[in-house]
Amino acid sequence: METVRYRNTDILVKTIPKNTLLFRATGAPENDLRGFPLDDGSRCIIPNSNVFFYPNPFTASKTFGKWLQQSAKMYVYVLNNDVRVINLINPSKYTRGTKSTKRNFIKKCSLVPKGCMPNSLLAQDPCLSDTMVKKYPDVVGMIAIAYSDSVRLKRSLKKTQKNILKYFKMAGDSRGTTGIPELILHPLTRRPSKQMIINESDTLENNYKLITKFELNEESKLKQFMDKHSKYDPETFFYTYVK
């Protein structure tokens, strides 16, 4: 695994390969690709625009359940290209919790500039420091485990049908947390150093593309999709798309 240098430390960087499947429960898939909508019809993408993906189509509903938007569906994306992401799971000594330490390469998203976004970003989410954004624009994300989400998921899995449990491949981090890792990606293949206003006519180079969608409660159809179109990659904890 390669590293990048920040201050006096080496940070592990993992490559997630092209054709990796990404699963996201949302009611607004256009936001994942083109940024947050603004009142004038344009859209906003900032250096720390983060889109959160799981390795399977069941984790979101098992973790968040009733908190998901009623309009949410399960959108299935696939990576257009290899992506380089900061590794916050084993064997890294850093974790998603590193965001709470001072003067580090990741910080709470509430502490980074919101730019053209209408609202401040969330404190519970990790964002890259300005130095990391400017120095490594080709590092377009992170792979990490959210501790509180892992606790909720494990509780839910005790009541989950056995025929889908095989899709829950747990990873660990240096805190001793185990759970399903999230892939946190910027929409664009190169992270911008400043905010971007996106107009409808603009063409973007996205890290991923949408291939299909399902209703969240269609577990049998989701399982059929996984059985037919996915192959597990133990190096990434994600699945490769099989056509």
Tens-place pLDDT, residues 189-233: 999 999 999 999 999 999 999 999 999 989 999 999 999 999 999
The pLDDT mean for the chain works out to 95
- Has residue 110 got a pLDDT over 90? yes
Confidence of residue 161 (pLDDT cuts 50, 70, 90): confident
Is 13:3 a contact under the CB 8 Å cutoff? yes
234 burial (CB, 10 Å; 0-12 / 13-18 / 19+) is exposed
Mean pLDDT (whole number) for 134-149? 97
- In this prediction, residue 118 has a pLDDT band, given cuts at 50, 70 and 90, of very high
pLDDT of the residue at 105: 96
- pTM of the prediction? 0.95
Q: How confident is the model at residue 162 (pLDDT cuts 50, 70, 90)?
A: confident
Residue 69 clears pLDDT 80, i.e. is over it: no
Res. 159: pLDDT tops 90: no
Burial 205-231 (b: 16+ CB within 10 A, else e): ebbbebeeebebeebeebbebbeebbe
Is 67's pLDDT higher than 80? Answer: no
According to DSSP, the β-strands at 36-37 and 43-45 are: antiparallel
Q: What is the pLDDT of residues 1-30, one digit of tens each?
A: 899 999 989 999 999 999 999 999 999 999
Average pLDDT over residues 155-176: 92
pLDDT at 4: 97
